[in-house]
């Protein structure tokens, strides 16, 4: 563990935490442009978070301690996830302790705590949201694992940095299996981050909301942490996608400061492109009824399994 590796590790965490709201702001801006609206500033998510932090927290008097610690746990889990995902360099000392399966487990931990906290107050919306979130989760999580398994089978490791290093340095061949899994991954990303067509982050329509329903009882700093963690989750998913499907430009091998200088702008570029693509997908698709969500996610799961079969058949 050299000083440079530690530096990369901390830089990844700091950049993720700092830039996640910006990424969200950028997506919102692109969406507004596509929908012929006047766009809010890209900095709007920061302002929202700042405003929330300054407010007094209003908590239901029936809340248990679980309700109050959950925002910190969710935020901490998402930050740790940022440390595991190779967004800039692949020499990350902490990834020895947590591979891709542990990453999926970490995301699941955050989800379970969020669902439990949503059930804690005992309102109708909270438990509704928890139920729906867990429904999305039990379909999306295996699909995400399958996506990761295909990449691990190709590169013979479950360590995420090693996977992206392998895929980045391997001869630039075509992996048909990865094409299937990329589709599956995009669908999982949309579902897990409460985007259209599974959930709409912009509305509070009681019949369809999932993520927002779980946050209804949160306010002020707790809500700020939850919103920030959601932005961080989206950022993390985007980075998982880059690590699996477009790993080029990561500072691989022994890290030199110059490699990081290339990796950081490249990450910004990838995020900008991914953000506008996400906005486009969201703008052209319609929100599904909640009970169509299992079909959507089962399709994602099938795509991932198909990718696996293609890999095993073709060996690529």
Partner 1 sequence: MSALPVSPLSACLGLLAAWGIIGVAGLVRPMSVRLSGRLLFLAGAVCGLALALVSLWALELPPEQLVLPIGLPDLPFHLRLDALSAVFLLLLGAASVGISVFGAGYFRAGEGTAPGLLCLQFHLFLASMGMVLLADDAYAFMFAWEVMALSSYFLVTTQHRIAEIRRAGFLYLLIAHMGALAILLCFGVLHGGHWEFTFAAMRAGHLTPLWATIAFLLAFAGFGAKAGLVPLHVWLPEAHPAAPSPVSALMSGVMLKVAVYGLLRVCFDLLGRPLWWWGLIVLAVGLFSAVYGVVFAAVQTEMKRLLAYSSIENIGIVCAGAGLAMVFAGLGMAPLAALALIATLYHCLNHAFMKGLLFLGTGAVLHATGERNLGKLGGLMRYMPWTAWLTLIGALAISSLPPLNGFVSEWLLLQAFLFTDQIPRAFINMLLPLGAAVIALSAALAAYVMVKFYGVIFLGAPREISLMEARDCGMLERLGLIWLAAGCVLLGLAPVQVLARLNAVSTLLVGTGVGQHAQQWWLLAPLVEGRASYGPSAFFLGVLALVLLTAVAVRIFYHRRVRLTGAWDCGFGPLDSRMQDTAEGFGQPIRHVFQPFFRIERELPSPFDHDPKYRVIVSERIWYALYEPLARIMRRAADSVAWLQQGRVTTYLLYSFITLLLLLGVVLA
Q: Determine the distance from the C-alpha atom of residue 301 to the mean position of all C-alpha atoms in its chain, rounded to a whole number.
A: 17
The DSSP output letter for 216 is T
The DSSP output letter for 309 is H
Q: Shortest approach of partner 1 to residue 258 CB, angstroms?
A: 26
| The binder of partner 1 chosen from 145, 167, 184, 251 (CB under 8 A) | 145
Q: Which is nearer to partner 1, 33 or 94 (CB)?
A: 94
| The binder of partner 1 chosen from 146, 187, 234, 240 (CB under 8 A) | 146
* C-beta pairs of 96-100 under 8 Å, 24+ apart in sequence: 96/159, 99/158, 99/159, 99/160, 100/148, 100/151, 100/152, 100/158, 100/159, 100/160, 100/163
10 binds partner 1 (CB under 8 A): no
Distances in Å between the Cα of 14 and the Cα atoms of 1, 53, 98, 315 are 19, 19, 19, 38
Tell which positions 100-119 bind partner 1, by CB under 8 A.
101-102, 105-106, 108-109, 111-112, 115-116, 119
33 binds partner 1 (CB under 8 A): no
Give, for 190, the enclosing helix (H) or strand (E).
Answer: helix 176-192
Q: Is 251 helix (H, G, I), strand (E, B) or coil?
A: strand
Tell which positions 276-295 bind partner 1, by CB under 8 A.
291, 294
Q: Which is nearer to partner 1, 224 or 267 (CB)?
A: 224
176 binds partner 1 (CB under 8 A): no
124 binds partner 1 (CB under 8 A): yes
Q: Shortest approach of partner 1 to residue 216 CB, angstroms?
A: 6
Tell me which residue of 79, 65, 149 sits closest to 110, measured CA to CA.
Answer: 79
Tell which positions 40-59 bind partner 1, by CB under 8 A.
53-54, 56-59
16 binds partner 1 (CB under 8 A): no
189 binds partner 1 (CB under 8 A): no
Q: Which is nearer to partner 1, 114 or 190 (CB)?
A: 114
Contact 237, 70 (CB under 8 A): no
Tell which positions 203-232 bind partner 1, by CB under 8 A.
216-217, 221, 225
240 binds partner 1 (CB under 8 A): no
Work out the number of other CB atoms within 10 angstroms of the CB of residue 74.
Answer: 24
Distances in Å between the Cα of 177 and the Cα atoms of 91, 149, 150, 180, 183 are 26, 11, 7, 5, 10
Select from 37-45, 74-82, 191-199, 272-280 the region that touches partner 1 (CB under 8 A): 74-82
169 binds partner 1 (CB under 8 A): no
261 binds partner 1 (CB under 8 A): no
Radius of gyration of the chain (CA): 19
Contact 200, 190 (CB under 8 A): no
């Amino acid at each position: 563990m050299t000083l440079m590796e530690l530096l990369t590790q901390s830089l990844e965490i700091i950049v993720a935490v700092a830039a996640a709201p910006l990424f969200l702001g950028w997506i919102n801006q692109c969406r507004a442009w596509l929908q012929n609206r006047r766009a809010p500033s890209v900095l709007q998510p920061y302002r929202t978070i700042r405003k929330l932090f300054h407010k007094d927290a209003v908590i239901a008097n029936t809340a248990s301690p679980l309700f109050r610690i959950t925002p910190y746990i969710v935020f901490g889990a998402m930050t740790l996830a940022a440390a595991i995902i190779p967004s800039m360099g692949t020499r990350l000392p902490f990834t020895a302790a947590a591979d891709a399966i542990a990453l999926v487990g970490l995301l699941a931990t955050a989800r379970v705590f969020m669902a439990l906290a949503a059930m804690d107050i005992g309102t109708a919306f909270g438990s509704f949201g928890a139920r729906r979130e867990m429904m999305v989760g039990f379909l999306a999580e295996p699909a995400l694992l399958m996506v990761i398994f295909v990449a691990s089978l190709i590169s013979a490791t479950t360590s995420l940095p090693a996977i992206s290093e392998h895929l980045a340095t391997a001869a630039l061949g075509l992996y048909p299996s990865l094409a299937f899994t990329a589709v599956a991954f995009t669908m999982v990303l949309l579902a897990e981050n409460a985007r259209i067509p599974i959930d709409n982050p912009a509305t509070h329509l009681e019949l369809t909301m999932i993520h927002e329903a779980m946050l209804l009882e949160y306010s002020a700093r707790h809500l700020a942490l939850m919103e920030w963690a959601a932005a961080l989750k989206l950022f993390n998913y985007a980075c998982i996608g880059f690590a699996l499907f477009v790993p080029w430009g990561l500072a691989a091998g022994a890290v030199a400061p110059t490699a990081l200088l290339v990796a950081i702008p490249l990450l910004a570029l990838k995020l900008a492109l991914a953000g506008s693509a996400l906005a486009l997908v969201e703008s052209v698709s319609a929100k599904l009824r909640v009970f169509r969500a299992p079909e959507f996610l089962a399709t994602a799961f099938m795509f991932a399994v198909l990718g696996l079969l293609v890999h095993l058949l073709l060996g690529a």
